Structure 1
Amino acid sequence: MAGDSWLSDYDNCAQLGQQIMVKINERNKNQRTSSAYTKLSAHVRTSMKQFSGDVNKLRQSLLRASSSYHITQREVERRQIMIDSLTTKEKQLDQAFRNESGSSRSSLLGAETFSSNDPWGMSDEPEQFRGVGNADIQTQQQDVIREQDEGLEALSHVISKQKQMAVDIGNEVDDQNILIDDITDRTDRTGDRLMKETRHIKIVDKKSATCGYWVVIILLFIAMIVIVAVPYHGKA
């Protein structure tokens, strides 16, 4: 990734390790009692402390990057393998530095362990990482990040559509609630009117029954008058 200094720090650390190995080989060509041997030993000892510190910094930096998900899991695994290789070479450098016999030195520094084509023993790197340079890894990371960004953008569009659908459904529910409230109010008013009209009908019915009674009474009164009046006229 752009601005990722881990890979350049690793290259510097690996280069320092190669320089240390060259200094050890140069030192071992001198007599142990010579001043050149002593001077080179002091220089190598200081460089090895720096090498160990750089390896530890790389390890801590990788831990922070993996915790914050700034790099892919595949790249974390690749870089961890690179750090493990540096740790192994650190032990080999220490053994070479402490070695005192030329035969043991040649066995430690033989072509099988530090070949010119693979001075740091990276041939045991997983197949998917072999032949892939730092620039290629950065390109792969950028491709992965771009694909993740596209996926996140598509997901954002889907979420936006779902949010708009939820808003529309909420508005429709509000409209339906208003309509239901209006129907309820009209139903209540209609019920009140029905009850009022029912009371009016009862009153009218009661009045109608009273009027009928009065008609019957009047008719009976007239009949009584007629009955009384008819015999009176006959006697006359």
Structure 2
Amino acid sequence: MDQWLSSFEQCSRLGHEIQVKINERDKYPRTDTSYIKLSTQIRSSMKKFSNDIAGLKTSFIRSSTAYRITEGEVERRQIMLNELISKEKKLDHAFNNESGSGYRQNLIGHTSSSRPSSNPWLDEPEEYHGLANQDIRSQQQSVIQQQDEGLDALSKVISHQKQMAVDIGQEVEAQNEIIDDLGDHMDRTNERLIKERRHINIVDRKTGTCMYWVIIVLLFIAIIVVAVIPHSK
């Protein structure tokens, strides 16, 4: 038995437990502590029951494609799922006491004029009453087609988003390459500035040395001139 069937069995058992608790709760007055306590437990279980049914709906298509099951098995699972959905509605009505005791008798699958069903989960859903097998099959195929169309639309959206992510990634890579090139240019420019600064320092040192020699030569000439002028007189 695959995972979907296992999940279905667990969900069915949970629905039966909720049904038992509702029947037990209705034995007490509304103001009784036991009534309030059981109502809190039932409300929590109902929420989980609804979430489990939603999970079964989602995994129904996956199970139909992941496992090589026959068309008849697909239809059987669709009927099982519809029965759970119908059961959820009945439990919700019974929990809110919308139909009184007569509805609760219908909920547990029997009336005073009929014996209890051995498996209430296999009762025919109300929406299929009076329909031929071909009509039921057509309804189920219509539901499956709608689900397929929804999955196709979701797949297109995901593909579009994936393409956008790829385009953004390529743009980021291109920008990173530009930033890397700028970094290389800045490094080379910095090296050139360092070399030019060294050349300037060398020129400064050379310029200072030449100035000293010029001053020495001028002083030497001045000494000679001073020495020669008195002798000329």
**TM value normalised by structure 1:** 0.49
Q: Kindly name which structure, 1 or 2, has the bigger radius of gyration based on alpha carbons.
A: 1
**TM value normalised by structure 2:** 0.50
